Amino acid sequence: MNLMLAEDDALLADALCAQMRRAGFTVEHAPNGAVAEFLLGRQAFDAAVLDIGLPMVDGLTVLQRVRVTQPALPVLLLTARDGLEDRVAGLNAGADDYLTKPFDFPELEARLNALLRRARLSPSAPRGQSLGQLTLDADSRRALVDEQPLELSPREWLLLELLMAQRDRVVTKEQILQTWGQDGGEPQSNAIEVYIHRLRKKLEGAGVAVRTVRGLGYLLEAQAAP
């Protein structure tokens, strides 16, 4: 199982990574929230362990953003705060489980295994998704139209992946910027329009359309046959 551990305490992170590897997991470590977002946006993980108190971008924000593009990813939160309000905030942000520090590693391992079992038993969206003549393979990060590959920049891929995951639902500019790992602002918003235009050109003949919903955002939908 491929895990992402986001923990800023270097000693604890080293110990957890060593124990997880001994337990048979493959682990990628993120020392802050920005790196966690980068890894989650560019690699396929079976589960993620997020400390809430991460520097740069806190764990709850990372969780809320990753839920936009990976709603089924099992996520366990770690925190030194054990108040009811803290637990509720974590679960409401999209966490699947919650573990308070200090903890024993066997408990963390058992909770992770339970999350992974539930994920395997639960129906989930396929890694390959299709709409019209467009197919996305999230594992290889390729887009195909009638089995012919589309040449996409990294931002175009992330944009198309988000639109496909939310197909027939409006995707806001804020969601797009979060997927790109950027904050809001006029220059970035203008850039979105440029990338939407490029994507529309590349999707011509794919049987899909990126529709602008004025004042709200964009949605990907199947195009009616002529």
Cis peptide before 106 (omega within 30 of 0): no
Average pLDDT over residues 107-134: 74
Question: Tell me: the pLDDT tens digits for 123-151?
Answer: 444 456 788 899 987 766 788 898 888 88
Band of pLDDT at residue 120, cut at 50, 70 and 90: low
- CATH of 128-222, picked from 3.30.565.10, 2.40.240.10, 1.20.1530.20, 1.10.10.10, is 1.10.10.10
Range of lowest pLDDT (13-27, 77-91, 152-166, 195-209): 77-91
Closest residue by Cα to residue 50 from 16, 25, 23:
16
Angstrom CA distances, 89 to 50, 64, 147, stand at 14, 11, 44
List alpha helices for 93-205, DSSP H.
105-121, 154-165, 173-180, 186-202
CATH number of this structure's domain 2-121: 3.40.50.2300
Mean pLDDT taken over the chain: 85
Question: Tell me: the pLDDT tens digits for 58-78?
Answer: 999 999 888 877 877 899 999
C-alpha–C-alpha distance, residues 210 and 42, integer Å: 23
List alpha helices for the chain, DSSP H.
10-22, 33-42, 59-69, 84-92, 105-121, 154-165, 173-180, 186-202
Delimit the domains of the chain by residue range.
Answer: 2-121, 128-222
Measured from the Cβ of residue 206, the count of other Cβ atoms closer than 10 Å reads: 20
Average pLDDT over residues 180-192: 65
